[in-house]
Chains A and B, each alone.
Chain A
């Protein structure tokens, strides 16, 4: 079969000592920056671009790719340990992962994340290898109407993220949507909600919001506890997941992988949506829905698998069509151009070693990451036993430096402080930040696609229902909305879910 010979070619390339080294450097570096809050793969890859000039192109791209998916692994670690989402796709991991850590189950949480990510990485690499061209065609079929409907579905699903009051969750989503609109409007060029501050011209950065709402707010709330109670229970349980854990995480991982592989192909937000979608699915099909938000292992396994699968499959539009699916892919295109490689469909045929070598090294990279991360769990657990009074200044230092490194502007820290206050208030008022974050990210995209779809259809709103894919998503949204609100309408005691009310 052709695929086998291609894979053989790929592994032959990827297993060369130099490329192996590049892969290792990439994933280690990626893990490191994923762990550090604020500094992300975009900044790092951008900085390393000049170094790649003098490297062999395949090696360079392997390293850069390693940084990208390595950062996904590292980001999960911070999300679980200190409730800080380094990447937008780690936000969901914070929800249950951090709660697991607080209850002494950081070990199983981290292990689940690593195992889930590896499994997802393997499967999705296969997906990329086998189905890259046809999947790319599917990606092309997604126009503004389809994206809009998908995002509506995502937002409705976001309300499931909250374990508390439904109406407050919807309000938080709306708030997030509004905050996401700050900045320059794509369709008209008008600067909205910026109050004359030019730094807001491109909107508020996701990292800044996440650091403020999740990081700062969490630290402040913890410090306000009356006694100097340790945030993490000192009774640290076992390091590895139990048999029961494995039984529960396996189906979640499978579902997450499927979702992530499917959604990751879509340029622009596909990979992010996959982790949110996975969480929603897990919560809905689980036999223990009340555990979600308090440390349900499926809430870590599913999203983690999804975001890794999404990270791998987001290479598809890049490798097959030469189109970047997100900022990192745009940088990869830059790297390819510097090397004199014109990204596009011809890469697969003109440079099979590059294409298949990269695919093979993606799997090798995932393997390296699991081997690296699993033993590290012991070290991370030890870190958690450090007294909180030493831990939180450390977190703050990394957060501040990380945020500052994004655009070298003190203004960003000011915004982070604003969101810290907002996050603190929301935490005290039992309004959950996760739906808001999703609204924040999707808001501008949703509006952009809505308006563009209306422009293209010359004002015909029925277009959303006329296109099959779009219609499917919208119908699903309506169904989901009904399913979610039924229990809420029936029993007025939905506040009973809110375990976080006591703050």
Chain B
């Protein structure tokens, strides 16, 4: 009995010691996408703050490829000492596992889900010339011209693509999906009228909506966005139950010790709460997430994975 007590005490304190000791060398945040995108930017914002609070250099390392899978897989197989973490996203942890058939990692078991950073809705934006001022008119238009409307997305299997497929399914319309390499070229064609609509994520769409270059019709989340409160949700506009959010957050390899995970969680949340970071994240369209603890995050990821497994199958979206 005494032995057990001693053992427990030692375990607890060593855990604490590990947490206190960590980090002992530079920390790497792997961003599994190319530099410059919203995920990369938010990672860099956090990194700067973490560097101050952790006392060690925190660098963002871009490892783009395979829709984010490369970078995520790399970290899943890295040493679980808390010095290598990754920004896991809805694409890598909820959509790709089903869309691609299989991925070389387990989105739940191979990771500790440390802290959710950003949740942004997608926005349904249309070309200004399109004679549809709200979702209802759009659906009517699509029904009147089956197969004549095109919707763009930043890549096959992205939330924009899935949102479009889901929209088609729920409204019984037929529109053609036009994939692009990234949101930017898609938006160009949208503004020029070569494609008619797009479900772009709020971070990249907000400036264009505000400047009036495209017209926003609705948001894809169940709740209205605080940034475009005048926009109805798709759920309100007749597509009952429509709820899609793009999210991403910090994740660590599965066997990272609990004290490290908790300390990292605290620090990341603190960094996000810093006024300048918070403002910049808001400029991207993201409010402070309501999911705060690693356990909540893990449960969230598991739920998302199930939801999107179903959605992907239902939408019939395939990497051909």
Contact = CB atoms under 8 A, between A and B. Distances in A.
Answer yes or no: A and B touching, Cβ < 8 Å: yes
B250 interface: no
A141 B194 CA distance: 10
A190 B66 CA distance: 11
A340 B279 contact: yes
Interface string A429-459: 0000000000000000000100010011010
B207 A344 contact: yes
A186 to B, nearest CB: 5
Interface string B167-185: 0000000001011110011
A212 to B, nearest CB: 19
Nearest to B188: A323
A483 interface: no
B64 A334 contact: no
A16 interface: no
Nearest to A201: B66
A159 B192 CA distance: 33
Interface stretch (A46-54, A72-80, A102-110): A46-54
A371 interface: no
A202 interface: yes
B293 interface: no
A207 to B, nearest CB: 14
Interface in B20-62: 34-38, 40-41, 44-45, 47-48, 60-62
Contact of B36 (A46, A139, A186, A458): A46
Range class of the A interface residue count = 35 or more
B134 interface: no
B213 interface: yes
Contacts of A343: 207
Contact of A140 (B191, B319, B320): B191
B184 A330 contact: yes
Contact of A408 (B45, B61, B194, B208): B61
Contacts of B240: none
B119 interface: no
Contact of A198 (B48, B104, B185): B104
A438 B48 CA distance: 39
A434 B135 CA distance: 51
A323 B45 CA distance: 22
A196 to B, nearest CB: 11
Nearest to A50: B48
Interface in A179-231: 184-191, 198-199, 201-202
A258 B155 CA distance: 35
B228 to A, nearest CB: 13
A144 interface: yes
B189 A198 contact: no
B70 A198 contact: yes
Interface string A332-372: 01100110101111100000000000000000000000000
B69 interface: yes
Interface of A: 42-43, 45-46, 49-50, 53, 139-141, 143-144, 184-191, 198-199, 201-202, 267-268, 321-324, 327, 330-331, 333-334, 337-338, 340, 342-346, 407-409, 448, 452, 455-456, 458
29 contacts: A43-B35, A53-B48, A141-B192, A143-B189, A186-B155, A188-B320, A189-B156, A189-B318, A198-B65, A198-B73, A199-B70, A267-B188, A322-B207, A337-B280, A337-B283, A338-B280, A344-B208, A345-B213, A346-B210, A407-B63, A407-B65, A408-B61, A448-B181, A455-B150, A455-B178, A456-B150, A456-B178, A456-B194, A458-B147
